[in-house]
């Protein structure tokens, strides 16, 4: 299946058959991809030591690719999985042979190891992309979500503060807004922690919040493609479920731009257009694969899973949206948080990690009052 130009353009000679191209995930967006202006980014990255955590993941690896183009002095690829780090390292060495690359195998929950990395390399800019993100899996494993998304973020952020990093950018999610899941709640707590740390730190801490990423590992597009290849059915949770979608390059451009725009404490948002129905996405992908939805490839509705919402939000009620220098990027007003009180809540959360799910979820809901109280235990 190929995407071809308009027939009238072919006839008039405006375009040739060379314009025919393969189907891309951008074709499913329902809007033009956002292009971020790179002015001002160079001074934030060029000749700097830049650390990317979760560097082997979908977002982390694309971050590394785009950062490499700004000629950092050194690019630190930190990840827990050796295979994914090896893959992105080899790609970068091939495409950027002059770049100083340092692959680092480390667990962000290991405080002494993270301190060692910061002490040796002294990163100027940190992009924190390492996280557990799969909503249903984290509902079943809340302690692991807390260890990685909350305490892992705390470990890396504390090290950035201690060793004098200039900037720290947290990759967050729209699921952190009035969260209905463990994953979303842990992401909101991570946002709260770096906002509170920003108040007393010389490091500029910021969060970047965006929607679902088309084509990322564990997202619906790879799943739908696999189901279509098997002849169906394509599974959709609910006919009215909608999500904001971005491409991986869009998401990463936003993260890099946010790092350059940040004065500290902000939560950055991207104008992602109108939300897209998951059902429409599935039907479009079936058609782009050369089949007729509901005829050649059936679609089954499986029901909303634990922790999922019909729609996602981008702002908390107390956050006031404000414009930035970029017309498609906005900021939410940072909350007023007491760092000492938050540390006490973290200590309480740490004490229940070894207990049953209900105890962990109970503390999470106490820490985030806007969290949905009807979480299934």
The Cα–Cα gap between 209 and 191 comes to 10
Contact 183, 150 (CB under 8 A): no
Q: Where are the alpha helices (DSSP H) in the chain?
A: 7-12, 42-45, 58-68, 82-95, 111-121, 135-140, 142-145, 153-162, 182-200, 220-229, 248-261, 278-288, 339-351, 357-367
Instruction: Say which residues have a Cβ less than 8 Å from residue 127's Cβ, sequence separation at least 6.
Output: 50, 51, 52, 53, 60, 63, 67, 169, 171, 255, 256, 259
Catalytic residue among 175, 187, 204, 309: 175
DSSP string for residues in 304-327: PPTT--SS--SS-TTPPEEE-SST
Measured in whole angstroms, the distance separating CA 106 from the mean position of its chain's CA atoms is 20
Token output for 79: 């990840």
Token output for 373: 């109280």
What's the Cα-to-Cα distance from 266 to each of 192, 195, 205, 272, 322, rounded to whole Å?
11, 8, 8, 18, 10
The Cα–Cα gap between 308 and 280 comes to 18
**Orientation of helix 339-351 relative to helix 357-367, angle to 10°:** 170
The Cα–Cα gap between 65 and 95 comes to 9
The phi and psi torsions of 81 (rounded to 5 degrees) equal: -95, 120
The Cα–Cα gap between 228 and 45 comes to 41
355 is catalytic: no
The Cα–Cα gap between 309 and 316 comes to 15
The Cα–Cα gap between 95 and 83 comes to 19
User: Would you please indicate which residues are annotated as catalytic (active-site) residues?
Assistant: 175
């Amino acid at each position: 299946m190929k995407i071809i130009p308009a027939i009238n353009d072919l006839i008039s000679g405006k375009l040739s058959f060379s314009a025919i191209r393969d189907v891309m995930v951008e074709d499913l967006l329902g809007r033009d991809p956002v292009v971020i202006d790179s002015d001002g980014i160079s001074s934030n990255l060029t000749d700097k030591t830049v650390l990317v955590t979760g560097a082997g993941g979908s977002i982390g690896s694309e971050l590394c690719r785009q950062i490499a183009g700004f000629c950092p002095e050194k690019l630190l690829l930190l990840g827990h999985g050796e295979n994914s780090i090896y893959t992105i390292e080899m790609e970068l060495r091939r495409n950027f042979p002059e770049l100083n690359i340092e692959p680092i195998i480390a667990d962000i929950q290991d405080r002494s190891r993270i301190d060692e990395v910061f002490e040796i390399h002294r990163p100027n800019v940190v992009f924190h992309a390492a996280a557990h993100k799969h909503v249903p899996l984290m509902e079943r494993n809340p302690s692991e979500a807390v260890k990685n998304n909350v305490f892992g973020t705390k470990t890396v952020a504390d090290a950035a503060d201690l060793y004098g990093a200039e900037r720290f950018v947290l990759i967050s999610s729209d699921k952190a807004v009035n969260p209905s899941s463990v994953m979303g709640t842990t992401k909101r707590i991570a946002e709260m922690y770096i906002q509170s740390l920003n108040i007393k730190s010389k490091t500029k801490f910021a969060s970047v919040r965006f929607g679902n990423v088309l084509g990322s590992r564990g997202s619906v597009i790879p799943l739908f493609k696999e189901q279509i290849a098997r002849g169906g059915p394509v599974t959709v949770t609910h006919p009215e479920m909608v999500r904001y979608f971005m491409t991986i390059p869009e998401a990463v451009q936003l993260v890099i731009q946010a790092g350059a725009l940040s004065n500290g404490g902000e939560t950055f948002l991207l104008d992602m257009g109108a939300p897209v129905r998951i059902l429409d996405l599935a039907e479009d992908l079936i058609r782009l694969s050369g089949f007729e939805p509901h005829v050649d490839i059936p679609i089954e509705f499986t029901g909303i899973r634990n922790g999922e919402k019909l729609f996602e939000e981008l702002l908390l009620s107390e956050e006031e949206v404000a414009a930035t220098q970029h017309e498609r990027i906005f900021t939410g007003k940072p909350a007023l948080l007491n760092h000492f009180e938050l540390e006490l809540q973290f200590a309480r959360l740490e004490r229940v990690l070894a207990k049953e799910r209900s105890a962990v979820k109970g503390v999470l809901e106490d820490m985030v009052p806007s969290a949905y109280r009807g979480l299934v235990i």
